[in-house]
Amino acid sequence: MKPLPSQEHSGLNIAALTSSLERLQPRNGLVLLIIGLAVFLVPVLTLPLSRAEAYFALVPSEMLAAGRWMTLTLNGAPFLDKPHLFFWLNLMAFKIFGVSDWAARLPTLALTLGEIWLTFRLGCLLLNPRSAWLGGFILLSSAGFFCLHLELFADHLITVSLLLALYFLVQGLRQPRSKWGWLFYLSLGIGFMGKGIIGLGFPLVIGLIYAWYLGQLRGFRRLLLHPGGLALLVLIILPWFAAMEHAYPGFLRHYFIDEHLLRFLGRRQPGGVSSISIPLLWFFLGIWLLPWIFLLPQALFLYVKATLRDETRKAKMLLIIWPAIVMAVFTLTSTRIEYYTLPALPPLALILGWRVDRYLTSPKDRSLPLALLAMALLAMASTFFMLFLQHLCVGNRREFMGMFPLMQPAVRQTIMITLPLCLLGVLGGWRRRYLALCAYGMVALSLLFITFQALHVIIPLQTDKLPGEYVRRHAGPGDLVIMENFEEAELGASLAFYSQHRILMVQRHGLPRFLYPVTPQENYLISPSRLKELWYGPHRVFLLVDDAMPLEPYLREAKVAQAGGGKRLLVNRPQ
């Protein structure tokens, strides 16, 4: 067989290379895992827990202290918003390594590496080993994947379970064997215990549409009616529902109505979630895929065109159906958070890997140098871009206030580092395709380093580690720890975790509020008048307040025990 022109031009035997890569698939995947570990390990060991994520550490630490695996409490009150699996993973980490913020991040690190590995394996199944490897690298080197996988979210379990389910689905449609039914339903069980009904819904809906497109509804039905798999899923779900309803009467109504139906419709009270707009949801999808987003529009167009033109490639359409369903669901729901687009990243990364692979075998293709040129222009205009992003984000979510001015050093670093790399890739990579790819990869990894530095500046504004550690060192058993100016009860978890004290929160204008009935002993919400009584009472009180909020007159002369990150820790009786 005569080599392709592109193979002659590059001086590489692409067929031989592909054959070698097929024999070395596990080794290639291992290289990806090593790169992923090198990228994520230091941030995992050094970043503190923010207020938005700390409850994923506080809940399992309370489970460990109580010695009960089924009872979920947050600061001593029932916490029924999430299934148990993610908390169990962190609980096991605490039992092995002790209670700490870095130990709480270890399960997320394992899930991150699992996503990278499974993305590669699914890419090998649908595309080819080189496209799969490139897709895995694009995924781990994307700015959003990096940022979001340094945070504790149950949504990581959604992505892992979805990858598993779709991998076993594709295998089951190709090879009707019993084991694929077992494994498919096990994946559904993991998804449900990680995030609830959506963990079941995504793989079932995506799988149904995919099987219909392939004309394999019979095979999909055979997989769904697998008796052993169905029994396994029932054994996972029903005992959990029964145990939770027994422990917390009314849990089933809370779970199905409040946490799913009313949340989807945006009518849950209290809201508990600051929803972003639809344009911002899609905008963040692009941000998460930086710097590879410049290749995505053309990659999607060419991928769909190539798949539709060849009937033998119909199986590859899964990578289009998958993100389309994810984005459609979160576009239609009334509750939208920027990280909800996480499950759409692996298939888009694989499409980008396919596009880069195609670029490497096409001598006249200039897509990577042109994308690098666009990136260079964006780097030169990054100051204006950040102003636009600040206006867009702050207008949708209060949490973004004060964040962007702190990112100016990172913006300057981005210009100084990425601009030369982009220009080098444009000039040197115009004829040398691998040089353009190397420059692109270096830009991606450089952005991750700059992002990590920016997080070190931003996270202190979003965590209560410093005041929490101060309280742990100085507070006695009878001292009180109180928080002001927080609208969601979960946001007190960072102070409670680091202080190792049960805290009180001041309730103003009806917020924060419990989503589930609590007993007087479990209730940690107090009124402003009660705060004043406690401040002048017999106990020493540590009060965390926001610098931006006005203080009550009786607090204005209080001693500041610790300050930083936009917060002050006041104490009524200094030692």
pTM over 0.75: yes
Tokens representing residue 540 in the block? 């020493």
In sequence order, the 6+-apart residues with CB closer than 8 A to the CB of 417 are 446, 450
Q: Are 203 and 191 within 8 A, CB to CB?
A: yes
Instruction: Kindly state the average pLDDT of the residues 370-385.
Output: 75
CA 562 – CA 17 distance, rounded (Å): 60
Least confident of 41-55, 125-139, 241-255, 556-570: 241-255
Confidence tier at 136 by pLDDT (50, 70, 90): very high
In sequence order, the 6+-apart residues with CB closer than 8 A to the CB of 115 are 139, 149, 156, 159, 160, 163, 346
Confidence tier at 4 by pLDDT (50, 70, 90): very low
Neighbours of 339 (CB within 10 A): 16
Q: Where are the domains of the chain?
A: 5-46+80-365, 366-461, 465-571
CA 184 – CA 525 distance, rounded (Å): 44
In sequence order, the 6+-apart residues with CB closer than 8 A to the CB of 98 are none
Least confident of 91-95, 227-231, 260-264, 349-353: 260-264
Q: Looking at the predicted structure, is the pLDDT value of residue 142 above 80?
A: yes
Instruction: Kindly state the average pLDDT of the residues 129-152.
Output: 94
Instruction: Kindly state the average pLDDT of the residues 436-451.
Output: 88
Alpha helices by DSSP H, 248-344: 251-253, 263-265, 278-288, 296-309, 318-332
Instruction: Kindly state the average pLDDT of the residues 113-129.
Output: 95
Radius of gyration of the chain (CA): 26
Least confident of 141-155, 184-198, 309-323, 371-385: 371-385
Best mean pLDDT range from 1-15, 107-121, 250-264, 407-421: 107-121
Q: What's the whole-number average pLDDT of the chain?
A: 86
Q: What is the pLDDT of residues 295-353, one digit of tens each?
A: 999 999 999 999 988 777 888 999 999 999 999 999 988 778 888 899 999 999 999 99
Instruction: Tell me which H or E stretch contains 506.
Output: strand 504-506
Greatest alpha-carbon pair distance for the chain in Å reads 90
Q: Looking at the predicted structure, is the pLDDT value of residue 363 above 90?
A: no
Neighbours of 233 (CB within 10 A): 19
Least confident of 63-77, 371-385, 496-510, 526-540: 371-385
Neighbours of 529 (CB within 10 A): 8
Please indicate whether residue 536 or residue 16 has the higher confidence score (pLDDT).
536
Among candidate residues 360, 496, 436, the one with its CA nearest the CA of residue 6: 360
Instruction: Kindly state the average pLDDT of the residues 357-379.
Output: 86
